[in-house]
Amino acid sequence: MTAITVAAMIEALSALPPDAELVVTESGYYCYGEFATIMLPEAYTVEGVENDADAGRVVYRIGHSHQSY
């Protein structure tokens, strides 16, 4: 799992022009669109599928992609 702190995100966003627009892109073999759905921050408890060490960790999602297997 890759995560970024709120402080690092604020610093990065502060460097952008005030009228900049943000998008969340999708990637992978089974993506259905060029962009993912934009979501307000939402608490999410990691299930640990990619790394069991992250299981139970609470993070905040800001966007997501639809994936099919």
Q: What is the pLDDT of residues 21-32, one digit of tens each?
A: 887 776 666 667
pLDDT at 65: 59
pLDDT at 27: 66
* Count of C-beta atoms within a 10 Å radius of residue 48: 13
pLDDT at 68: 56
Give how far Cα 36 sits from Cα of 17, 54, 55, 66, Å: 22, 23, 24, 8
Average pLDDT over residues 2-20: 89
Query: 24-36 as b/e, with b when 16 or more CB fall inside 10 Å?
Result: eebeeeeeeeeeb
Query: Closest Cα to residue 58, out of 49, 48, 45, 47?
Result: 45
Q: What is the pLDDT of residues 33-67, one digit of tens each?
A: 777 777 778 888 888 776 677 888 888 887 765 55
